[in-house]
Amino acid sequence: MIKNQISLLWILALKDLQLFMVDKKAAVLCFLVPIILASTFGYVFSKPLQNEEIKLPLLIIREDESPLAIKLVEALLKSPKLEASLSNRLQAMDRIERRSARLALVIPSGFASMISQKKKIPSIEILHHPASSLEVKWAEGLFTEIAFREAAPELLGFWVPGASSLKLERPFDVKKEQVPSSIDITRQAYSHSFSGMTMQYLLFWGMDCGLLLLREQKQGIWKRLKASPVPLATLLGGKIIATALIALLQILVTFSFGALVFGVVINGSVIGFCMMAIATAILSAATGLLIAALGGNENRARSMAILAILGLSMLGGMWLPSFMLPQWVQNFSLILPTTWMVRGFEGVTWQGMGLLDASFCALVTLLFSFSFILFSILRFQIASSNYPADGVGL
Amino acid sequence: MLPYEVLCLKSVSLKYATTLAVNNLDLTIYSGEILGLLGPNGCGKSTTLNAIAGNHELDSGCILLEGKSHSQQPLFYRSQIGFVPQELAFYEEFSPFDNLSFFAKLYGIPKNILPQRVNEVLSLVRLDDRAHQPSRSLSGGMKRRLNLACALLHKPKLLLLDEPTVGLDPHSREAVFSCLNLLKEQGCAIIYTSHYLEEIFRLCDKVGIMSQGNLLFLGSIQEFQTRILKKKSKVSLPIPNYRFSDDCDSLLHQANMQRSSLAEDTHSLEQYLIKLSEIKAA
């Protein structure tokens, strides 16, 4: 009996694999698309990281004619940490508004005289676009450092006795050390994009297979299959096996390409990677089945699935690493399968995750998969007895 | 071999939500017998076939195939049935040979006899010369024949055909009829739904008329002609969306009549049949 069911599962899966291979161009594209997506994302995100000498673009507006202000502006223009240029307030505001500049530093009129008169601590202004608040802090720090280094006597001379000959240099050196040391930041960007984009594509692949099932139903093939001496669970099992096998192949092909071309490596457990690959392939198939079970008809299911997949991808950290998302999103995303998929894959590739942690991620992914499958089978069974024979029922 | 009871429906009822699709249906079919089910769209013909095929749970009653119900032995039950849905239910991407091989495997036909059986069925439906062409390149008639062939591989005891001749050319229709007659001679019981009265008269031993889920009439073709055509029955069957066969078209042409005029004159099946017999007699 079991042997017979396994044989039937394979017959059904083989049929779907053959159908997949009928259109060879479509089959090739199916492997190319995740590679192109992952490579493009990886390239985009690795570029700024590769450049160690990132300069902060800054417009400088000098409204004070004092020698101190002139000296400070010259120092800012010479700074290797800035991409500074002179501007005026109106022009700067216009450029920031149009987003051709991110921020402008204003040395206001009376800046030096306020210092010399000891009446009030003067202010500098930083004009910035609402989206550039991080750069404001950067500019503030750089200006403070440059001002103290270049003009300490002028700035502090009136306040600190004997400061006229003061030259403030940073009295320490900064040693930078990356932890863990083995990680290449460029590879990290590619590892993230290959993990995220492959997983996202696999969910879409699952969706496509789910829609195919709904199409078979519409064409009457499903009716014929259901009338054959094959249990419903076996019919669905065949679909799961075929979808998961192709998904597994997609993972292997995409990551092999990533390894060969962009140096994406498995820093963690290789067995963990294999477990994650299998769990993710099964989840892809289970997602497809769930879409078919809940979608009702092809058009409705497609719209619903696109929304769900994009949402799950974003919240699960497939687009941007999850640490860049707000804390509440990070907490919420723990109930999403995509979080565990990405966590596992990123873990075993660039974070050096061990077998135990990877097994946990794979186990959670599998639990999600099996609950999807179980729910879908129940839904199919209920639907088959409730819907009209000529309608869109299962 | 003496005819024996293949299928028995006892007080079968089926509901979709609150709609009664099939109401208290009793039916018996013997081996080598063809039952034609007639009735307008939505009268419950397809639902009845799907229920017999085991695709729908019954709300009440039971269906016995060779004495066994679907709930008792679902896999055995389904292995005895060949089901031909209204739709072209095969993979257009595969050739007829590959389609049949796939369905043959599902029905557990052993590998060593599988190619031979597939070729036999292909030749039965006159598709042996197109065996290895992609199915999507076949004509409409050939596709219909392939649709039928997919249900014959396992030599079913009961064959269910849901409007198998829709859109068929005369040549393909002949091919289907000769195939069904051959199966009948081999002892296969057949249930055949159609809108074409002429087909039912020509092919079937028994006829059943359904309307709104009820079986209004069940009897032999002779009984049908006597009781319905000679107005001895109280059956009054509305025939909206009635389709006209090629034979009917030809008769209308001979009688110099339009389809629309026939449809206007006939508001029930018996009126239609009387009208048609009048045209034939004329």
pLDDT band (50, 70, 90) for residue A388:
very low
CB contact under 8 A, A389 and B46: yes
Yes or no: say if A202 and A345 are a contact pair by the CB < 8 Å rule: no
Place of tokens 């006159």: B126
Question: With pLDDT > 70 as the criterion, what percentage of chain A qualifies?
Answer: 90
Q: Determine how β-strand A82-86 pairs with β-strand A56-62.
A: parallel
Backbone angles phi, psi at B138, to 5 degrees: -75, 155
Tell me what pLDDT residue A391 has: 35
Per-residue pLDDT 10s for chain B (282 aa) are 678 899 999 999 988 777 888 988 999 999 999 999 988 777 888 889 989 998 888 889 999 998 888 888 888 899 999 999 989 999 999 999 999 999 999 999 999 999 999 999 999 998 999 999 999 999 988 999 999 999 999 999 999 999 888 878 888 888 889 999 999 999 999 999 987 777 888 899 998 888 788 888 888 888 877 766 555 554 444 443 344 445 455 555 655 555 555 555 555 555 555 565 565 555
Query: Distance between CA atoms of B270 and B20, rounded to whole angstroms?
Result: 25
Tell me what pLDDT residue B129 has: 92
CB contact under 8 A, A229 and B103: no
How many residues are given for chain B?
282
| Whether residues B181 and B214 fall in one domain | yes
Q: Provide the b/e sequence for B66-82 (b: ≥16 CB within 10 Å).
A: eeebbeeeeeebbbbbb
**Which of B163, B14, B55 is CA-nearest to residue A384?**
B55
- Better-predicted residue by pLDDT, B58 or A280: A280
Tell me what pLDDT residue A51 has: 52
In a domain, B186, yes or no: yes
Residue A67's CATH number: 3.40.1710.10
Yes or no: say if B5 and B68 are a contact pair by the CB < 8 Å rule: no
Chain B contact for A6 (CB, 8 A cutoff): no
A313: amino acid identity, one letter:
S
CB contact under 8 A, B83 and A390: no
| Whether residues B50 and B171 fall in one domain | yes
Yes or no: say if B24 and B61 are a contact pair by the CB < 8 Å rule: yes
pLDDT above 80 (res A10): yes
| Whether residues A298 and A350 fall in one domain | yes
Chain B contact for A382 (CB, 8 A cutoff): no
The contacts of residue A35 (CB under 8 Å, 6+ apart) are A253, A254, A257, A258
Tell me what pLDDT residue A393 has: 37
| Whether residues A43 and A98 fall in one domain | no
| Whether residues A233 and A289 fall in one domain | yes
In a domain, B257, yes or no: no
C-alpha neighbours within 13 Å on the C-beta side of residue B75: 12
Mean of the per-residue pLDDT values for chain A? 87
**Which of A186, A337, A196 is CA-nearest to residue A265?**
A186
Say which DSSP state A394 is in: -
**Considering its fold, how many domains does chain A have in total?**
2
Chain B contact for A389 (CB, 8 A cutoff): yes
- What is the rounded average pLDDT of the residues A139-147? 90
Beta bridge partners of B83: B160
Tell me what pLDDT residue B228 has: 63
In a domain, A392, yes or no: no
| Whether residues A330 and A200 fall in one domain | yes
Yes or no: say if B211 and B43 are a contact pair by the CB < 8 Å rule: yes
| Whether residues A246 and A212 fall in one domain | yes
- What is the rounded average pLDDT of the residues A239-254? 96
* Residue ranges making up the domain that contains B83: 5-89+156-238
Chain B contact for A26 (CB, 8 A cutoff): no
Of A165, A194, A212, the domain-final residue: A165
Tell me what pLDDT residue B96 has: 96
Tokens of A284: 């892809």
Tell me what pLDDT residue A248 has: 96
Tell me what pLDDT residue B238 has: 43
Q: Shortest CB distance from B54 goes to which of A12, A224, A227?
A: A227
**Which residue in chain B is spatially nearest to A217 when comparing CA positions?**
B89
| Whether residues B102 and B13 fall in one domain | no
In a domain, B273, yes or no: no
Tell me what pLDDT residue B251 has: 55
Residue B121 to chain A, least CA–CA distance (Å): 17
| Whether residues B28 and B136 fall in one domain | no
Residue among A16, A212, A228, A392 with most chain B CBs within 10 A, to mutate: A228
- Better-predicted residue by pLDDT, A176 or A56: A56
B47: amino acid identity, one letter:
T
Please list every residue in chain B whose beta carbon sits closer than 8 Å to the beta carbon of residue A22: 93-94
Angle between helices B170-185 and B140-149 (to 10 degrees): 10
Query: Distance between CA atoms of A44 and B18, rounded to whole angstroms?
Result: 58
Please list every residue in chain B whose beta carbon sits closer than 8 Å to the beta carbon of residue A229: 74-76, 78-79, 106-108
Q: Shortest CB distance from A389 goes to which of B55, B102, B107?
A: B55
Report the range out of A110-124, A148-162, A168-182, B248-262 with the highest average pLDDT.
A110-124
In a domain, B137, yes or no: yes
Of B103, B129, B149, the domain-final residue: B149
Residue B172's CATH number: 3.40.50.300
In a domain, A191, yes or no: yes
| Whether residues B11 and B101 fall in one domain | no
Chain B contact for A165 (CB, 8 A cutoff): no
Say which DSSP state A92 is in: H
| Whether residues B170 and B230 fall in one domain | yes
| Whether residues B132 and B178 fall in one domain | no
| Whether residues A63 and A157 fall in one domain | yes
In a domain, A223, yes or no: yes
Please list every residue in chain A whose beta carbon sits closer than 8 Å to the beta carbon of residue B79: 229
Residue B30 to chain A, least CA–CA distance (Å): 21
H runs (alpha helix) in A23-161:
24-50, 67-78, 89-97, 111-117, 133-156
Please list every residue in chain B whose beta carbon sits closer than 8 Å to the beta carbon of residue A388: 16, 21, 47
**Which residue in chain B is spatially nearest to A13 when comparing CA positions?**
B102
Tell me what pLDDT residue B244 has: 45
Q: Shortest CB distance from B87 goes to which of A220, A225, A231?
A: A220
In a domain, A174, yes or no: no
- What is the rounded average pLDDT of the residues A213-223? 89
Tell me what pLDDT residue B260 has: 52
| Whether residues A159 and A79 fall in one domain | yes
Tell me what pLDDT residue A48 has: 57
CB contact under 8 A, A227 and B83: yes
Residue A308 to chain B, least CA–CA distance (Å): 30
Tell me what pLDDT residue A394 has: 39
pTM value is 0.75
Per-residue CA distances from B22 to A90, A314, B163 (Å): 81, 49, 18
| Whether residues B224 and B85 fall in one domain | yes
* Residue ranges making up the domain that contains A343: 2-47+183-386
**Considering its fold, how many domains does chain B have in total?**
2
Yes or no: say if B82 and A227 are a contact pair by the CB < 8 Å rule: no
Yes or no: say if A146 and A72 are a contact pair by the CB < 8 Å rule: yes
**Which of B76, B231, B271 is CA-nearest to residue B154?**
B76
Q: Shortest CB distance from A15 goes to which of B54, B81, B102?
A: B102
Residue A385 to chain B, least CA–CA distance (Å): 5
Please list every residue in chain A whose beta carbon sits closer than 8 Å to the beta carbon of residue B76: 229
Yes or no: say if B33 and B3 are a contact pair by the CB < 8 Å rule: yes
CB contact under 8 A, A229 and B78: yes
Query: Distance between CA atoms of B68 and A192, rounded to whole angstroms?
Result: 58
Place of tokens 């036999």: B120
- What is the rounded average pLDDT of the residues A211-230? 90
Beta strands in B71-222 (DSSP E): 81-84, 158-162, 189-194, 206-211, 214-220
In a domain, A393, yes or no: no
In a domain, B264, yes or no: no
Strand arrangement of the beta sheet that strand B19-30 belongs to: B19-30, B5-16, B60-65, B68-69
Please list every residue in chain B whose beta carbon sits closer than 8 Å to the beta carbon of residue A387: 16
| Whether residues B29 and B70 fall in one domain | yes
Residue A288 to chain B, least CA–CA distance (Å): 20
In degrees, rounded to 5, the angle at the alpha carbon of residue A370 between the alpha carbons of residues A365 and A373 is 125
Yes or no: say if A46 and A189 are a contact pair by the CB < 8 Å rule: yes
pLDDT tens-digit readout, A284-325? 999 999 999 998 788 889 998 999 999 998 888 888 877 777
| Whether residues B68 and B167 fall in one domain | yes
| Whether residues A24 and A150 fall in one domain | no
Q: Is the dihedral of CA A291, A296, A297, A302 positive or negative?
A: negative
Model ipTM value: 0.80
Chain A contact for B177 (CB, 8 A cutoff): no
Residue among A3, A223, A385 with most chain B CBs within 10 A, to mutate: A223
In degrees, rounded to 5, the angle at the alpha carbon of residue A189 between the alpha carbons of residues A183 and A194 is 110
| Whether residues A212 and A354 fall in one domain | yes
Tell me what pLDDT residue B255 has: 55
CB contact under 8 A, B86 and A11: no
Query: Distance between CA atoms of A315 and A95, rounded to whole angstroms?
Result: 34
Q: Shortest CB distance from A228 goes to which of B16, B21, B78?
A: B78
Tell me what pLDDT residue A295 has: 84
Query: Distance between CA atoms of A333 and A311, rounded to whole angstroms?
Result: 11
pLDDT above 50 (res A392): no
Burial class (CB in 10 A: 0-12, 13-18, 19+), B256: exposed
Chain B contact for A224 (CB, 8 A cutoff): yes
CB contact under 8 A, B106 and A227: no
Of A165, A192, A214, the domain-final residue: A165
pLDDT tens-digit readout, A39-94? 998 888 776 555 556 788 999 999 999 988 999 999 999 998 899 999 999 999 99
| Whether residues B79 and B209 fall in one domain | yes
CB contact under 8 A, B46 and A219: no
In a domain, A318, yes or no: yes
**Which residue in chain A is spatially nearest to B47 when comparing CA positions?**
A389
- Better-predicted residue by pLDDT, B103 or A265: B103
Tell me what pLDDT residue A286 has: 96
Query: Distance between CA atoms of A331 and A309, rounded to whole angstroms?
Result: 19
Chain A contact for B182 (CB, 8 A cutoff): no
pLDDT tens-digit readout, A15-52? 999 999 999 999 999 999 999 999 998 888 776 555 55
CB contact under 8 A, A227 and B90: no
Indicate the range of A15-29, A165-179, A207-221 predicted with least confidence: A165-179
Of A165, A192, A212, the domain-final residue: A165
